[in-house]
């Protein structure tokens, strides 16, 4: 396969900004962050203030362009989709006419099956990855990175991304048991995100044992639905608490703070939808979704 020469990160939020900062250090590929938000415009004007937690902040001269400036993409290009799910339809409208048949596209969104939505919107196959690191933007033009990993469904395109991130601050690997890993992350998100939004709390607060009974109820429903889908979720609440033991703030709370739509429909909402398909009751997830919807409104 011909080496990719350009990487387009579509979605200038916290995760996209972290990837842009880290890939900017790889001189074998030209990296560009695509967005038109206040955050994106601040980066375009003054560079990205990037901080790996427990390290000094630095300014990274990330290249930023708006969607209407993206050229026709071809075999030399790889697209990392980090757009939030509520904004995806709008993004696919402008991206589809710019995607040639040989462009590599990787969906990095939360939830179950975003690559199917993107593949339909772009009318082309799409690869898939999962982000297991924390990222938040405390103010426009600034992003904090809580080191972690990316796990990718094996393909030629995802192998390319792994090679690009080799030796960087983001560990990257291919996961043969990708479907199990997708549900593993969904289970964590179905607790961390709604709890953060409803309780106005960060990860470290959510990790407290006092909330364990509530977490057990959510995890029990997610586990039953996953099993009906042929997937076993191998995680306990105590293990989950270790994943949450950081100062990061889940993205759903950040969305509510900014009065933006949340991704609750593709997290706990996906559990409800799939549970209904299998005749499994999910009252706890329904409760969380209704409370987040109230906060959204």
> CATH code at 122?
3.40.50.720
pTM reported for the whole predicted model: 0.93
Are 21 and 106 part of one and the same domain? yes
Show which of 106, 141, 174 is a domain's final residue.
174
Residue closest to 48 by CA, chosen among 142, 183, 187, 158? 142
Residue closest to 19 by CA, chosen among 111, 124, 149, 114? 149
- 39-45 long-range contacts (CB < 8 A, ≥24 apart) are 39/12, 39/13, 39/137, 39/140, 39/141, 40/12, 40/64, 40/66, 41/140, 42/140, 42/141, 43/12, 43/17, 43/141, 45/141
pLDDT tens digits, residue range 95-144?
Answer: 999 998 899 999 999 998 899 999 999 999 999 999 999 999 999 999 99
> CATH code at 183?
1.10.1040.10
Residue closest to 64 by CA, chosen among 94, 90, 31, 104? 31
The residue segments making up the domain with residue 202 are: 178-296
Are 233 and 152 part of one and the same domain? no
Average the pLDDT over 210-239 and give the result.
96
How many alpha carbons lie under 13 Å from residue 151 in its C-beta half-sphere?
14
Instruction: Decide: 182 and 107 in contact? Cβ < 8 Å.
Output: no
- Token code pair at residue 267: 């997290």
- Give the pairing type, strands 77-81 and 6-10: parallel
Q: How confident is the model at residue 247 (pLDDT cuts 50, 70, 90)?
A: confident
Residue closest to 128 by CA, chosen among 147, 113, 148, 149? 113
Are 165 and 269 part of one and the same domain? no
Residue 1 has pLDDT above 90, yes or no: no
Output Rg (C-alpha) for the chain, integer angstroms: 19
Q: Quote the number of domains for the chain.
A: 2
């Amino acid at each position: 396969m011909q080496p990719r020469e350009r990487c387009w990160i579509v979605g200038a939020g916290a995760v996209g900004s972290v990837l842009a900062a880290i890939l900017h250090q790889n001189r074998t590929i030209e990296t560009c962050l695509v967005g038109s938000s206040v955050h994106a415009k601040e980066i375009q004007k003054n560079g990205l203030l990037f901080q790996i937690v427990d390290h000094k902040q630095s300014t990274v001269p990330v290249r930023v362009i708006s969607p209407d400036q993206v050229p026709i993409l071809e075999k030399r290009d790889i697209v990392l989709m980090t757009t939030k799910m509520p904004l995806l339809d709008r993004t696919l409208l402008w991206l589809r006419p710019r995607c040639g048949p040989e462009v590599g596209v990787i969906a990095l969104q939360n939830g179950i099956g975003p690559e199917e939505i993107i593949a339909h919107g772009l009318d082309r196959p799409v690869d898939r990855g999962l982000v297991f690191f924390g990222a938040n933007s405390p103010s426009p033009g600034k992003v904090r990175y809580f080191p972690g990993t990316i796990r990718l469904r094996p393909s030629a395109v995802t192998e390319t991304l792994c090679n690009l991130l080799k030796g960087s601050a983001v560990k990257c690997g291919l996961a043969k048991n990708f479907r199990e890993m997708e549900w593993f992350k969904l289970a964590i998100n179905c607790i961390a995100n709604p709890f953060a939004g409803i309780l106005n709390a960060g990860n470290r607060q959510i990790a407290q044992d006092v909330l364990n009974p509530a977490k057990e109820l959510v995890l029990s429903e997610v586990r039953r639905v996953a099993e009906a889908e042929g997937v076993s979720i191998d995680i306990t609440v105590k293990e989950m608490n270790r994943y949450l033991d950081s100062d990061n703030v889940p993205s759903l709370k950040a969305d509510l703070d900014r009065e933006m739509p949340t991704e609750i429909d593709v997290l706990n909402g996906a559990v409800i939808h799939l549970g209904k398909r299998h005749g499994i009751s999910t009252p706890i997830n329904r409760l969380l979704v209704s409370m987040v919807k109230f906060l959204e409104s």
